[in-house]
Chain A
Amino acid sequence: MTELPETQLLVIGGGSTGAGVAWDAARRGLHVTLVDRGDLATGTTGRFHGLLHSGGRYAVKDPGSARECAGENVILRRIAAGCIEDTGGLFVTTPADDPGYADRFLAGAAVAGMPVEEIPVAEALRREPLLNPRISRAIAVQDGSIDCWKTVWACVRGARAYGAQILPYHEVLSIRLEQGAVVGASLRDNVAGAVVEIRAQCILNAAGPWTGRIAKMAGCALGVIPGKGVMVAMNHRLVNTVINRCNMPGDGDIIVPAHTVCVIGTTDVPVDDPDQIAPTAAEVAKMMAAGEVLVPGFSRARALRAWAGARPLIPKGAAPAGEVRDTREVTRSHSVVKHAGVDGVEHFITITGGKFTTFRLMAEDAVDAVCADLKVSARCSTAEAPLPDSEDQRFFSLGSHQKEMEEHVGDDPLICECELVTRGALRSAASGRPGQQLDDLRRSLRLGMGPCQGGFCSFRAAGLLHHEGYYDRSQTNDALAAFVEERWRGQRMVLWGQQLRQYRLDSWIFQGILDLEHLPA
Chain B
Amino acid sequence: MKTEVLMIGAGTSGLCAAVRLAEAGVKVIVIATGAGSLGLAPATLDILGYAPELVLDPMGALPAFVSEHPEHPYALVGLERLRSAVAWFQATAAELGYQGGLERNRLLSTALGGLRPSALLPDSMTAGAMASGRRVLIASIRGFRDFYPQLVAENLASSEMGVDASWVELDWSGDATDLVPTRLWRQLREPAVRHQLASMLRPSMDGVEAVGLPAILGRTESQAVRHDLEEQLGRPVFEIPTLPPSLPGLRLFDLLRGALRRAGGRLILGSTAAEFRADGRRVLAVRASEENRHDEYEAGAFVLATGGMGAGGIEVDASRQAREPVFDLPLSGVPGEAEDWVDTEYFREQPFDRAGVRVDGSMRPVDAAGEAIFDNLFVVGAELAGAEPWREKSGEGISLVTALRAAEAILEEGR
Q: Which residues of A contact B (CB under 8 A)?
A: 278, 280-282, 284-285, 288, 299-300, 303, 409-413, 415, 423, 456, 459-460, 462-464, 466-467, 473-474, 476-477, 480-481, 484-485, 488, 492-493, 495-497, 500-501, 504-505, 507-509, 511-521
What string of 1s and 0s marks CB contacts (under 8 Å) between B109-143 and chain A?
A: 01111111000000000000000000000000001
Given the contacts A495-B316, A497-B316, A520-B155, A413 and B41 also touching, CB distance less than 8 Å: no
Stretch in B182-190, B227-235, B241-249, B401-409 with 4+ CB within 8 Å of A:
B241-249
Tell me whether A515 and B342 are in contact (CB under 8 A). Answer: no
Tell me whether A281 and B243 are in contact (CB under 8 A). Answer: no
Given the contacts A467-B151, A495-B342, A520 and B159 also touching, CB distance less than 8 Å: yes
CB distance from A51 to the nearest CB of B (A): 24
Tell me whether B111 and A285 are in contact (CB under 8 A). Answer: no
Stretch in B22-30, B204-212, B369-377, B387-395 with 4+ CB within 8 Å of A:
B387-395
- Bound Cα distance from A413 to B143, whole angstroms: 8
Tell me whether A517 and B318 are in contact (CB under 8 A). Answer: no
CB neighbours (8 Å) of A303 from chain B are 318
Residue from A299, A508, A512, A516 having most chain B Cβ neighbours under 10 A? A512
Tell me whether A512 and B41 are in contact (CB under 8 A). Answer: yes
Tell me whether B318 and A456 are in contact (CB under 8 A). Answer: no
Select one of A409, A415, A514 contacting B112, CB under 8 A: A514
Given the contacts A511-B391, A513-B241, A500 and B112 also touching, CB distance less than 8 Å: no
CB neighbours (8 Å) of A285 from chain B are 318-319, 338
**Does B341 sit at the interface, judged by CB under 8 A?**
yes
6 contacts between A and B (CB under 8 A): A282-B339, A495-B341, A509-B243, A511-B347, A513-B41, A513-B241
Select one of A288, A460, A485, A517 contacting B145, CB under 8 A: A460
CB neighbours (8 Å) of A507 from chain B are 310, 390
Q: Given A464-B148, A474-B158, output 14 extra A-B contacts at Cβ < 8 Å.
A: A281-B338, A284-B338, A409-B177, A413-B143, A460-B146, A463-B148, A495-B316, A495-B342, A497-B317, A504-B308, A507-B310, A509-B243, A513-B41, A518-B54
- Bound Cα distance from A480 to B315, whole angstroms: 30
Tell me whether A467 and B150 are in contact (CB under 8 A). Answer: yes
Tell me whether A410 and B317 are in contact (CB under 8 A). Answer: no
- Bound Cα distance from A214 to B175, whole angstroms: 53
Per the 8 Å Cβ criterion, residues 297-335 of B in contact with A are: 308-312, 315-320
CB neighbours (8 Å) of A509 from chain B are 243-244
Tell me whether A280 and B339 are in contact (CB under 8 A). Answer: yes
- Bound Cα distance from A515 to B311, whole angstroms: 20
Per the 8 Å Cβ criterion, residues 49-75 of B in contact with A are: 50, 54
Given the contacts A280-B339, A501-B309, A520-B159, A508 and B390 also touching, CB distance less than 8 Å: yes
Tell me whether B115 and A518 are in contact (CB under 8 A). Answer: yes
CB neighbours (8 Å) of B50 from chain A are 518
**Does B218 sit at the interface, judged by CB under 8 A?**
no
B interface size (C-beta, 8 A): 59
- Bound Cα distance from A512 to B382, whole angstroms: 14
Question: Residue on A with the closest CB to B352?
Answer: A495
CB distance from B316 to the nearest CB of A (A): 5
Tell me whether B111 and A513 are in contact (CB under 8 A). Answer: yes
Tell me whether B318 and A288 are in contact (CB under 8 A). Answer: yes
Given the contacts A281-B339, A511-B390, A516 and B112 also touching, CB distance less than 8 Å: yes
CB distance from A518 to the nearest CB of B (A): 5
CB neighbours (8 Å) of A492 from chain B are 341-342, 344
Per the 8 Å Cβ criterion, residues 331-373 of B in contact with A are: 337-339, 341-342, 344-347, 352
Closest CB pairs A-B (n = 9): A504-B310, A463-B148, A281-B338, A488-B346, A413-B176, A492-B342, A512-B390, A473-B154, A520-B158
Tell me whether A485 and B318 are in contact (CB under 8 A). Answer: no
CB neighbours (8 Å) of B241 from chain A are 513
CB neighbours (8 Å) of A501 from chain B are 309-312
- Bound Cα distance from A505 to B41, whole angstroms: 10
Tell me whether B151 and A473 are in contact (CB under 8 A). Answer: yes
Q: Which residues of B contact A (CB under 8 A)?
A: 40-42, 50, 54, 110-116, 143, 145-148, 150-151, 154-155, 158-160, 175-177, 179, 241-244, 246, 308-312, 315-320, 337-339, 341-342, 344-347, 352, 389-391, 393, 395
Tell me whether A409 and B176 are in contact (CB under 8 A). Answer: yes
- Bound Cα distance from A473 to B395, whole angstroms: 29
Tell me whether B395 and A512 are in contact (CB under 8 A). Answer: yes
Question: Residue on B with the closest CB to A280?
Answer: B339
Select one of B244, B316, B319 contacting A500, CB under 8 A: B316
- Bound Cα distance from A323 to B317, whole angstroms: 38
Question: Residue on A with the closest CB to B46?
Answer: A512
Question: Residue on A with the closest CB to B116?
Answer: A515
Question: Residue on B with the closest CB to A507?
Answer: B390
- Bound Cα distance from A415 to B337, whole angstroms: 37
- Bound Cα distance from A464 to B177, whole angstroms: 17
CB distance from A405 to the nearest CB of B (A): 12
CB neighbours (8 Å) of A493 from chain B are 338, 342
- Bound Cα distance from A269 to B243, whole angstroms: 42
CB neighbours (8 Å) of A485 from chain B are 345-347
CB neighbours (8 Å) of B395 from chain A are 512
- Bound Cα distance from A515 to B177, whole angstroms: 28
CB neighbours (8 Å) of B309 from chain A are 500-501, 504
CB distance from A406 to the nearest CB of B (A): 12
CB neighbours (8 Å) of B243 from chain A are 456, 459-460, 509, 513
Residue from A501, A509, A516 having most chain B Cβ neighbours under 10 A? A501
Tell me whether A411 and B176 are in contact (CB under 8 A). Answer: yes
Tell me whether A466 and B318 are in contact (CB under 8 A). Answer: no
CB neighbours (8 Å) of B346 from chain A are 484-485, 488
- Bound Cα distance from A280 to B147, whole angstroms: 38
Residue from B310, B316, B319 having most chain A Cβ neighbours under 10 A? B310
Tell me whether A512 and B310 are in contact (CB under 8 A). Answer: no
CB neighbours (8 Å) of A495 from chain B are 316, 341-342, 352
CB distance from B119 to the nearest CB of A (A): 15
Select one of B110, B155, B160 contacting A513, CB under 8 A: B110
Question: Residue on A with the closest CB to B159?
Answer: A520
CB distance from B344 to the nearest CB of A (A): 8
Tell me whether A517 and B347 are in contact (CB under 8 A). Answer: yes
- Bound Cα distance from A520 to B161, whole angstroms: 10
Tell me whether B338 and A519 are in contact (CB under 8 A). Answer: no
Given the contacts A485-B345, A508-B310, A519 and B114 also touching, CB distance less than 8 Å: yes
Tell me whether B242 and A466 are in contact (CB under 8 A). Answer: no
Select one of B146, B151, B317 contacting A496, CB under 8 A: B317
Question: Residue on A with the closest CB to B317?
Answer: A496
CB neighbours (8 Å) of B148 from chain A are 463-464, 466-467
CB neighbours (8 Å) of B347 from chain A are 481, 485, 511, 516-517
CB distance from B243 to the nearest CB of A (A): 6
